Amino acid sequence: MKNCCYTICAVAGWFVVAQQFAPDSSAQPLPEAQVQLSSPGIDLIWGFKIPMRDGIRLNGTVIKPSGQKGSLPVIFTLTPYISDGYQDRASYFARHGYVFVAVDVRGRGNSEGVFEPFEQEPRDGHDIVEFLARQPWCNGKVAMWGGSYAGFDQWATLKELPPHLATVVPVAAAHPGADSRGIQESYNIQWLTLTSGRTPNDSLFGENAFWTQKFRQMYLAQRPFNTLDQIVGNTTTVFQKWLSHPAYDGYWQAVSPTSEQYKEMNVPVLSITGAYDVGQTGAMFYYREHMKYGDPDTKAKHYLIIGPWDHAGTRTPKKEVGGLTFSDPSLLDMNDLHRRWYDWTLKNGAKPEFLKKRVAYYVMGPGAEHWKYADDLDAIATEHLKLYLTSQSGEANDVFNSGQMLEQPPSDAPDKFVYDPTDLRPGELQKESWDYSKYLTDERYALNLFGNGVVYHSAPFKEATEISGNVKLTAWMAMDVPDTDFVVTLYEILPDGTSVQLSKDSRRARYRESLSVARLVTPGQITRYSFDGFTWFSRRVSKGSRLRLVLSCINSIYYEKNYNSGGIVERESGRDARVAHVIVYHDAGHPSALAIPVVK
């Protein structure tokens, strides 16, 4: 799971300092426990209890406009990160005419129950909506706010179709089970430790030296991935349960909208993600499923924004991401954008001026750096450039002796590479964070693959060219093992030699046909692999730039290691390792090629 996020979810950087106050025995509680905050303009209802259908009570912190008269729309967020971290956002919306409720998920903060990540949110989200709609300070219109895990919460709630849910704004929404594409991440236990128990564990979560040490310990000892929680020292979580569901199976599908539920959704939706958002896979999965199954009238009310941001930047944009610097237009005021969206959908206000069309996307790169708009995501590209993989004498194993990507179909000898899971040298290159978006201009993996992988370059672009969309790679390969994990990364190499990562995709071989059904590879059989999970990006590739494509097997401290035996991957260790000899074909009968969406 990513990102979270999984895959799964990421904390937005709040660090809470606990303070103790001596109780005042003479103090008397105010009516309804309502007190005036020191900051003017807002009122507080502390310890607001929200009953669930099974009798469990969740805890909410209610922030209202000071001296509120009458009823107003209510916005709420459902969070595992403790409601205190949302005070600034809540105050902003309260000062602009909304009631904001920060709700601790079941089993976290001051909420009752046991935290079972993802499983509880659909039912609980529905019950929260309907309970808030009945409050005297609510006018019956309830909306949601939040990103990452709280983005998932919005889709999980919406799929239950609560009658009083008026709009959702899912940001960088995690999609459990689909985000990981069958490959578990070491980060999962880091996130689960963050959310263990009821109180915040922010400092431990942010202790990157500790997590790198533990991930490296597992990696160097070649221990099974399912021992990572023991190595870390936290066996209290659902880590083992997640490992028992590596496929996108019924366990994960139960918390995701079905085709029928997408069809019944009838509220306006504003989806937000970023080109370098590790949660983009989930956000785009929801968007495309809604576009596929949704009612035409409802789909017309679904807007999508794709900015040049990383995961945290989808809520608080910054100009610099991973060594790349963007221009001022990239710095959207997200509070203002959300507020204008809520004004439009909840108060019959004007449509946000920024939403000129249903899709807004930011074009990166020299000479670009601006927003563009489209009515349909798939209509942005005006043509698809197909570049065929080829090489001279079957050699394409590093950047100095690489293969090529040409517009003419090839007819030549295949390329070969070797992946030895017991080769621990790549671990010495591991970075200090699981979030690859922090290192977009770092190409150390491409420069030294230790024989594990192949590299292809395009010819220099004759003119500056906008690439906007999802690239796709079709690769015909054979190997002598029943399973392995592949990763493909695409770069722009500027005329001055600077490398910029554009997008990447990964795939476990046994899930090449479906994320839900495993099918081991027949050793020696030439098999077609479709890498169709590249993240969406928009960049103006400079005149004279080349594209670089790197295909290899995953060998990292940040992912469970596939030892290629074809067994249960999370139980495999170095004792099960099999060396994979991979052949990449690119002849007339097996035209491996990269499809690139181009805007003219």
User: What are 505-520's pLDDT values in tens digits?
Assistant: 999 999 999 999 999 9
The lowest-confidence range among 230-234, 317-321, 394-398, 415-419 is 394-398
Task: Report the SS3 class of residue 358.
Answer: coil
| Of the listed ranges 111-120, 432-441, 543-552, 565-574, the one predicted with least confidence | 432-441
Q: Residue 129 has what pLDDT?
A: 98
Residue 48 makes CB contacts below 8 A (sequence gap 6+) with: 59, 60, 61, 62, 101
**Cα 580 from Cα 479, distance rounded (Å):** 6
Of 405, 387, 418, nearest in space to 579 by CA? 418
Alpha-carbon gap, residue 503 to 500, rounded angstroms: 9
More confident position, 409 or 554: 554
Cβ-based neighbour number of residue 204 at 10 Å: 14
Contact 195, 210 (CB under 8 A): no
Rounded CA-CA distance 80/340 in Å is 26
The whole-number average pLDDT for the span 573-596 is: 97
Give all strands of the β-sheet with 146-147 in edge-to-edge order.
Answer: 146-147, 170-171, 269-276, 302-310, 359-363, 370-374
The stretch 409-431 carries a mean pLDDT of 87
Over residues 179-229, the pLDDT tens digits come to 878 899 999 999 999 999 999 899 999 999 999 999 999 999 999 999 999
Looking at residue 181, its pLDDT comes to 81
Nearest of 465, 10, 551 to residue 279 by alpha carbon:
10
- pLDDT beyond 90 at 77: yes
Q: What is the CATH number of the domain that holds 401?
A: 2.60.120.260
The answer to whether the beta carbons of residues 543 and 461 sit under 8 Å apart is yes
CA 104, 109, 111, 117 torsion: positive or negative? positive
Identify whether 454 is part of a domain.
yes
- Alpha-carbon distance of 85 to 390, in angstroms, equals 52
How much of the chain exceeds pLDDT 70, in percent?
90
Average pLDDT of span 60-87: 95
Residues 201, 207, 211, 213, CA torsion sign: negative
Separation between Cα atoms, residue 381 and residue 363, nearest integer Å: 13
Please choose, from the candidates 193, 359, 229, the residue with its C-alpha nearest in 3D space to the C-alpha of residue 288.
359
Q: Give me the pLDDT at residue 28, please.
A: 33
- Gyration radius from the chain CA atoms: 25
pLDDT value of residue 180: 78
Q: Is the pLDDT of residue 65 over 50?
A: yes
- CA–CA distance, 206 with 383 (Å, rounded to integer): 44
Which 8-state DSSP code applies to residue 296? H
Confidence of residue 355 (pLDDT cuts 50, 70, 90): very high
Q: Are 126 and 162 in contact (CB under 8 A)?
A: yes
How far is Cα 325 from Cα 319, in angstroms, rounded to an integer? Answer: 5
> Given a cut of 60, is residue 433 above it in pLDDT?
no
Q: How far is CA 580 from CA 246, 504, 508, 562, 571, in A?
A: 22, 22, 14, 11, 19
- Widest CA span in the chain: 88
Rounded to 5 degrees, φ, ψ at 47 are 65, 40
Q: Are 328 and 503 in contact (CB under 8 A)?
A: no
Which H helix or E strand runs over 492?
A: strand 485-493
In a domain, 379, yes or no: no
Q: Under 8 Å CB-to-CB from 27, ≥6 apart: which residues?
A: none
pLDDT digits (tens, 9 = 90+) for 223-279: 999 999 999 999 999 999 999 999 999 999 999 999 999 999 999 999 999 999 999
Give the CA distances from residue 435 to residues 184, 396, 532, in Å, rounded to whole numbers and listed in that order: 14, 28, 21
* pLDDT, tens digit, 9 for 90 and up, residues 116-137: 999 999 999 999 999 999 999 9
Q: Please indicate, yes or no, if residue 421 is contained in any of the structural domains.
A: yes
- Give Cα 100 distance to the centre of its chain: 25
Q: CA torsion, points 459, 460, 461, 462, in degrees to nearest 10?
A: -110
Domain extent at residue 563: 385-599
- Cα-based distances in Å from 211 to 41, 190, 208, 232, 557: 42, 7, 5, 8, 10
Q: Confidence class of residue 334 from pLDDT cuts 50, 70 and 90?
A: very high
Is 407 within the bounds of a domain?
Answer: yes
Residue 443, pLDDT score: 63
User: What is the C-alpha to C-alpha distance for residues 17 and 148, in angstroms, rounded to an integer?
Assistant: 24
> What is the C-alpha to C-alpha distance for residues 449 and 370, in angstroms, rounded to an integer?
35
Flag the least confident range among 14-23, 316-325, 540-549: 14-23
Band of pLDDT at residue 392, cut at 50, 70 and 90: confident
Check whether 21 has a pLDDT greater than 70: no
Q: Closest Cα partner for 141 from 334, 325, 347?
A: 347
Quote the CA–CA distance of 175 and 151 in Å, as a whole number.
Answer: 9
**Across 105-114, 258-267, 425-434, least confident range:** 425-434
> Based on the structure, what is the number of domains in the chain?
1
pLDDT band at 397 (very low <50, low <70, confident <90, very high): confident
Alpha helices per DSSP H over 294-400: 296-299, 334-347
C-alpha span between 85 and 205 (Å, rounded):
15
Q: Is residue 244 part of a domain?
A: no
Is residue 2 in a domain? no
Which residues, in sequence order, are bridge partners of residue 467?
A: 539, 598
On whether residue 533 sits in a domain, the answer given is yes
Task: Tell me if 193 sits within 8 A of 9, measured CB to CB.
Answer: no
Identify whether 416 is part of a domain. Answer: yes
Helical spans, DSSP H, in 78-232: 87-95, 121-133, 149-158, 187-194, 202-205, 208-221, 228-232
From the list 11, 288, 317, 270, the residue with the least C-alpha distance to 149 is: 11
pLDDT of residue 179: 82
Sign of the Cα pseudo-torsion (251, 257, 260, 264, in order): positive
| Cis preceding-peptide flag for 5 (omega within 30 of 0) | yes
